[in-house]
Amino acid sequence: MPASSYPSTPSATGGTDGGPPLGIAVVGAGYWGPNLVRNLVRSPDWELLAVCDLDPERAREVAGQHDVQVTDSLADVLARDDVDAVAVATPARTHHPIAVEALRAGKHVLVEKPLADGVEAGRAMVELARSQGLVLMADHTYCYTPAVEKIRELVADGALGEILYVDSVRINLGLVQPDVDVFWDLAPHDLSVLDHVLPGGLRPLGVAAQGADPVGAGRPCVGYLSLPLPGGAMAHVHVNWLSPTKIRQMVIGGSERTLVWDDLNPQQRISVYDRGVDLVQQSVDSADRRTASVSYRLGDTWSPALPEREALGAMVHEFAASIREERAPATDGEAGLRVLSVLEAAATSLRARGALVDVAILDRPLEIVR
């Protein structure tokens, strides 16, 4: 699929696309593994066959009462002919070696965010999946929520007009991670949503990152990303582990309307404001110098009705549908790579004291690995 394409929105209803369920194994029984197990067991698209973890007791606990293989051997899982795919829910540094081993064994792969711990590792995964004719999917769960699907629809339909700016805030009194900073922990959520809703994906002209470690944790706990976008728009992402209040909000300002997504407001997650600023160019003298006259547009506010469902259910259905239909999933490996490239550019910007740096991965064509 061309990198600039805008994949169709995944089905919100789930269900099978014909044929028997596909066999799948979950690799990793830590924080995210149990969520994957729960949704895979409920899905008519999948038959959970194995749970693999270096701690067999933890794997057995996650497998629960389900009649599945429990093992600490990835090789044993990959040797099974009835395992069509693996879902990887392990630390980011292990995503590349596990995914590569699974792809070489002929298995489709779903990978928890971020896709890998570096761009080159992510590129190798994408290129290998392509050369093997297999699906590599990034588990960008927020992209499968009803709210984000509606945002994507409104942007694609032109309801907001031309996108002028995006402000995203993801802050809370969170756990300071031992192996990653606040950018790698929280920003992938916001970046994956931007990649999903912006036509053509997230393709910033550069990345500038500012981070602070006021508590002496040894890594940034508060961070800001500035992403200039094509056409003069700007995206801004604020992430923070130290806030006593929890905020999950994104504002997308358009030339026609402005959308506010408040993920913590179940009664009104999305609000669309028919309000904004109109600029009228006026000539002021014979030299044809021009100035802008500002007028303010004050219109109605409305909130679309959204279904209530678990995003992971839609995500595992999309994984199965993409395998059966032999197509790229809505959040494919290249989507994961675009998010990963922004995170790596942010790390480079931090080392350069907040300088705007290029996102080089967007300029390099993917190669086929034979």
Q: What pLDDT does 287 receive?
A: 58
Contact 238, 250 (CB under 8 A): no
Class of domain 22-141+312-332: alpha beta
Burial (0-12, 13-18, 19+ Cβ within 10 Å), 356: middle
Q: What pLDDT does 3 receive?
A: 34
Burial (0-12, 13-18, 19+ Cβ within 10 Å), 326: exposed
Query: What is the rounded CA–CA span in Å between residue 35 and residue 313?
Result: 10
Q: What pLDDT does 337 receive?
A: 96
Q: What pLDDT does 298 receive?
A: 79
SS3 sequence of the chain: CCCCCCCCCCCCCCCCCCCCCEEEEEECCCCCHHHHHHHHHHCCCEEEEEEECCCHHHHHHHHCCCCCEEECCHHHHHCCCCCCEEEECCCHHHHHHHHHHHHHCCCEEEEECCCCCCHHHHHHHHHHHHHHCCCEEEECHHHHCHHHHHHHHHHHCCCCCCEEEEEEEEEEECCCCCCCCHHHHHHHHHHHHHHHHCCCCCCCCCEEEEEECCCCCCCCCEEEEEEECHHHCEEEEEEECEEEEEEEEEEEEECCCEEEEECCCCCCCEEEEEEEEEEEEEECCCCCCEEEEEEEEEEEEECCCCCCCCHHHHHHHHHHHHHHCCCCCCCEHHHHHHHHHHHHHHHHHHHCCCCCECCHHHHCCCCCCC
Query: What is the rounded CA–CA span in Å between residue 259 and residue 270?
Result: 7
Instruction: Give the pLDDT of the chain (370 residues) as one tens digit per residue.
Output: 333 334 444 444 444 446 799 999 999 999 999 999 999 999 999 999 999 999 999 999 999 989 999 999 999 999 999 999 999 999 999 999 999 999 999 999 999 999 999 999 999 999 999 999 999 999 999 999 999 999 999 999 999 999 999 999 999 998 888 888 999 999 999 999 999 999 889 999 999 999 999 999 999 999 999 999 999 999 999 999 999 999 999 999 999 999 999 999 999 999 999 977 776 665 556 555 556 677 777 788 999 999 988 999 999 999 999 999 999 999 999 999 999 999 999 999 999 999 999 996 544 444 433 3
Q: What pLDDT does 281 receive?
A: 61
Query: What is the rounded CA–CA span in Å between residue 337 and residue 342?
Result: 9
Q: How far is CA 333 from CA 8, 113, 268, 309, 319, in A?
A: 16, 11, 32, 25, 12
Q: What pLDDT does 221 receive?
A: 97
pTM for the whole thing?
0.88
Q: What pLDDT does 258 receive?
A: 96
Q: For the domain 143-302, what is the CATH superfamily, name and number? A: Dihydrodipicolinate Reductase; domain 2 (3.30.360.10)
- Cβ contacts of 55-64, under 8 Å, gap ≥ 24: 55/29, 58/29, 58/30, 59/29, 61/29, 62/26, 62/29, 62/33, 62/34, 62/37, 63/37, 64/37
Cis bond leading into 214, ω under 30°?
no
Q: What pLDDT does 294 receive?
A: 73
Query: What is the rounded CA–CA span in Å between residue 89 and residue 72?
Result: 14
Q: Domain map of the chain by residue range?
A: 22-141+312-332, 143-302
